[in-house]
Amino acid sequence: MDGDSYTEVYANTAQDSATPQYFDLPGTIARYAKLHCVDNHGDHFYLRVNEFELHGHVYQSDAGSGSDAGDNFNQATSISLGSHSGYTYESRDPCDWYKFNMTFGEFIEVTMTPPTGSDHDLYLYDPLGNMTANSTSYGDATEHIVYETNSTGEWRILIHASEGKGEYSFTVTYADTIHVESIDFKKTNPKLDVKVTIYDDVGGSVPGATVCMNITYPDESVHSVSEVTNEDGIAKYTITPLEQGTYIVIVTNIEKDGWIYDPAANVETSDSYTV
């Protein structure tokens, strides 16, 4: 650093001028600046930045907060849902805590991509401080948690640098969920079409979802079948030939990569048709 260029700051505590002191110095590229006492005016020690020492730190603005995210549960930094980035360092800043509001019964999804070549892990805590889920893959693999919240309040995540340092990115969102919107029948002798319509949590139809169902025939035999939804979100299964009596359809599961089946959102889970 240029010896003529310096910044003056002051601290409220007396420091031994013979020993360099380290202070947060927001707005600089260094997290810490090395300071020496140069003068004493009354109750303030005026300190002069003699040099910057990076110590592996950079100026942090975790999740756009302007500083380092809190180092423990109680000091968690508030964030909104969405995508963020932050900075960690295994030996000096291993813990970044964030908090956000969730209501009971929401499906929360958190993904975190560690700095290349590091190993960071992801933990989810409920408002009471219980760890409810974690993702602790080896190396710099992306960590991923999906969890159905069981209480309303401030939920928290801990991003922990178990190895390495650098910038990580993470996203906190509601998970994409799917549910049964309707079960319909269409009879055209000699067959009966069962149509199960699958919607997402914002009311859109979901193509490519595998719908598993148990169909009880009039003779009380149970047939486990599965069909994939078309572009209108409809899975169609055809029963033929038909017997006289009642067919009962129960949806047992819906599967689609990256999506969560939320049975509680089903408009109906079973329906029947009498031939």
Residues that bind Ca ion (CB under 5 A): 62, 68-69, 71, 87, 93, 96, 119, 121, 137
> What b/e readout covers 80-96, taking b as 16+ CB neighbours within 10 angstroms?
eeeebebbbbbeebbbb
> Which residue's CB is nearer to Ca ion, number 124 or number 180?
124
> Which residue's CB is nearer to Ca ion, number 87 or number 273?
87
> Which residue's CB is nearer to Ca ion, number 163 or number 176?
163
Q: Identify which of 224, 227, 222, 235 has the alpha carbon closest to the alpha carbon of residue 182.
A: 235
Q: In angstroms, give the least distance from the CB of 128 to Ca ion.
A: 22
> Which residue's CB is nearer to Ca ion, number 126 or number 143?
143
> Which residue's CB is nearer to Ca ion, number 60 or number 177?
60
Q: In angstroms, give the least distance from the CB of 88 to Ca ion.
A: 5
Give Cβ neighbours of residue 145 (< 8 Å, ≥ 6 apart): 108, 109, 110, 111, 122, 124, 133, 134, 135, 157
DSSP code, position 5: -
Instruction: Count helices and strands (H / E) in the chain.
Output: 0, 21
Q: Identify which of 195, 200, 234 has the alpha carbon closest to the alpha carbon of residue 215.
A: 195
- Greatest Cα pair distance, the chain, in angstroms, is 100
> Which residue's CB is nearer to Ca ion, number 114 or number 233?
114
Q: In angstroms, give the least distance from the CB of 8 to Ca ion.
A: 27
Give Cβ neighbours of residue 207 (< 8 Å, ≥ 6 apart): 229, 230, 231, 232, 233
Give Cβ neighbours of residue 142 (< 8 Å, ≥ 6 apart): 111, 112, 113, 114
Q: What backbone torsions phi and psi does residue 96 show, to the nearest 5 degrees?
A: -120, 120
Q: Identify which of 265, 117, 259 has the alpha carbon closest to the alpha carbon of residue 182.
A: 265
> Which residue's CB is nearer to Ca ion, number 143 or number 201?
143
d(CA 33, CA 29): 10
Q: In angstroms, give the least distance from the CB of 85 to Ca ion.
A: 10
Q: What backbone torsions phi and psi does residue 263 show, to the nearest 5 degrees?
A: -60, -30
Q: In angstroms, give the least distance from the CB of 89 to Ca ion.
A: 8
